[in-house]
Chain A
Amino acid sequence: MKRELPLLITAVIGLFMILSFFVPHHVVSVPADFLQQCAVIVVAFGYVLGGANALRVNLLSIAKRQSDWAYKLVLVVSLVATVVIGLIEGRRWQATDSVSMFLYNQLYSPMQATMFSLLAFFIASAAFRAFRIRTVEAGLLAVAALIVMLGRVPIGNEMTSWLPEGLRMGPVQEWIMNVPQNAAKRAILMGAALGVMATGLRIILGIERSYLGGGD
């Protein structure tokens, strides 16, 4: 019963949500909206579980003085302080002079921007590896990338201004992006969409049931 009931709930709600895509009538749309709102409530409870796990795992590490326990201490202190300040400030947390907003703007945002800015360096190192021409395919990739990069800046068109209009860098890069690139992208998307449907069907029909865990 511990497995059958969740499977039944999954099947009924899954089929009902598919039905709601085709039936706009309120008999179907209102319960469908309600179910989606219920999901939000379930997620809210999930955060309690998640927060408890983060605290437990990190506090245990601190207590056992595991390696890098100091980082975990910073994490726990930050987590508790943010929650406490948020609770004290209540609905005022979004005010421009609130401590929560100060933490967000002065600590969180700069840290986030720092992490994001690393991407520029990683793109450079990854591009360096990607464009090493070792095979025919890698060569084609490098040539296409060169055309697209040059075609998107004025110098690319300037360099090929002596060529007929259709053979200049700009139009050629547009063709690469609109035709072969888009065709490949759409093929992947169509395949992925079918994969989504197949996965959904397997779960709704209870064929894929590993998400229920190993208990009986």
Chain B
Amino acid sequence: MGNPTRSPRALVRAILVVMACVGSVRTSAADSAIPVPPAPAPPAGLTYEDVPNDAGSGIRLTWRRSPDDSVGLGRVNGYVLERGTSPVGPWVLVDSLALGTTERVDQAMHRNTPYFYRVTAFGPGGSTPALANAGPAIARESWFNSTRASVLTFLASFFLLVLYFMSAAQSGRKPFVRRLAGIDAIEEAIGRATEMGRPVLYVPGIQDIDDIQTVAGLVILESVARLTAKYETPIRVPVAYPIPFTIAQEMVKSGYLNAGRPEAYDPDSVTFVSPEQFAYVAKITGIMLRDRPAAHIFMGAFFAESLLLAETGFTTGAIQVAGTANVHQLAFFVVACDYTLIGEELYAASAYLSGEPRLVGGLKGADVLKLLIIVTILVGCVLETMGIRGLTTWMQTQ
């Protein structure tokens, strides 16, 4: 009898083989009835060009379509682009391209190495390579990405402005900084928590340290910790990622040290929770509802959890101060929190809180650059309206 489980499979396989044979016979018969179109005429004019401003990772290839390249004719199905290290091959497939394609950037080669390319049109009647190959094409790496010259110009201007205003502030000309109600409210919130004998909850956002908002949130944490140390109020800092967690520990420690109360620092005030968004939310809302902190301070990058945190906090009656540069979350914070730092105010907060002349000078530099950007936008609008595209082209980056 053999293996009972194999017999049906063998039967199915046999049926499939018979069907395939019958099918091939039918197809052959049908094929013999339909005339096979001739092989397509070759594409022509294959040219290459090193992609500029890259790390030697791209060759742009262009060609003219085969004269038979037309959907109605049905002679060309597409093109095959191949690469070789010599004019006679061996050829390696770069890509198989659709009908009508005349350009492809090859990015799967080594820099500073000569390559040869050929393009072939293929269709039902066979394939025809272009009459001439292209090469040697060498992808050369650039020392400077010239499309980013505008960024460099603005960056250099910004750095120079900031350095100038910092040195000016150091020499005694401290610039005026408008009052930031949100930051002023932090001390008020901590004072209220002290009166109520409840802790302060500080949330430095839900992103890792590679997000500059997290950095800004952690920098503000130092000033907040200094205030909680001064008022002898416990602080809770649940952190989502491990690197910000270690930095947050240092920040809180530094705040207590700068407030002259290093002995009051509690290493467990900063806790690692989880990088998982809603696990983090669960922990923080748990703290809000169980420990009832009197002040909630949210500073950093927030996403969908912003409203979950702020609304839960709102129901507890705590004073809430938030700051983020995520524009989509700002509306939620504005609605659910008492004070909100909007965009750049988050980054200005540490300078504002510390009052250090050099940091405040940096804010002035940013303001002057902002003015420069506004002028550039206005000039750009006028030039574009007049049909002059030079400035817009210069500012486009790759």
Mark A residues whose CB is within 8 Å of B: 18, 21-26, 29, 39, 42-43, 46-51, 53-54, 57, 60, 67-68, 71, 111-112, 115-116, 118-119, 122-123, 125-127, 129-130, 185, 188-192, 194-203, 207-208, 210-215
Contact = CB atoms under 8 A, between A and B. Distances in A.
Contacts of B251: 210-211, 213
Given A115-B308, A195-B325, A68 B290 contact: yes
**Those 8 A-B pairs whose CB atoms lie nearest each other, nearest first:** A195-B347, A46-B242, A213-B250, A214-B257, A214-B254, A50-B272, A50-B242, A191-B344
22 contacts: A22-B145, A25-B55, A26-B111, A42-B243, A46-B246, A50-B241, A54-B272, A60-B268, A68-B290, A112-B277, A112-B279, A129-B336, A188-B325, A191-B344, A195-B325, A195-B343, A198-B362, A198-B365, A201-B158, A202-B351, A207-B362, A211-B250
The residue among A23, A39, A67, A71 with the most chain B CB atoms within 10 A of its own CB is: A23
Contacts, number: 189
A50 to B, nearest CB: 4
B190 to A, nearest CB: 18
A189 B346 CA distance: 12
Contacts of A188: 325, 327, 330, 342-344
Contacts of B241: 43, 46, 50
A192 B216 CA distance: 11
Contact of B254 (A47, A53, A210): A210
Given A54-B273, A192-B343, A210 B219 contact: yes
B278 A111 contact: yes
Interface string B215-240: 11011001000000000000000000
B343 A112 contact: no
Interface string B99-132: 0000000000001000000000000000000000
Given A57-B271, A208-B350, A49 B304 contact: no
B295 interface: no
Given A23-B145, A54-B271, A43 B347 contact: no
Interface in B305-334: 307-308, 310-312, 325, 327, 330-332
B183 to A, nearest CB: 14
Given A53-B272, A198-B365, A199-B212, A43 B359 contact: no
Given A43-B243, A188-B343, A24 B216 contact: no
Interface stretch (B5-13, B26-34, B192-200, B366-374): B366-374
A60 B253 CA distance: 21
Nearest to B111: A26
A145 B291 CA distance: 36
A42 B243 CA distance: 8
Given A190-B370, A207-B166, A39 B210 contact: yes
Contacts of B335: 126-127, 129-130
Given A191-B343, A198-B347, A211-B250, A203 B215 contact: yes
B144 A23 contact: yes
A26 B57 CA distance: 10
A192 B111 contact: no
A4 to B, nearest CB: 16
Given A24-B145, A192-B344, A211-B251, 7 more contacts: A39-B210, A51-B272, A67-B290, A122-B311, A189-B327, A192-B325, A214-B256
Nearest to A126: B335
Nearest to A75: B283
B245 A208 contact: no
Nearest to B362: A198
Contacts of A189: 325, 327, 343
A202 B336 contact: no
Contacts of B365: 198
Contact of B162 (A26, A125, A201): A201
Given A122-B311, A197-B158, A53 B271 contact: yes
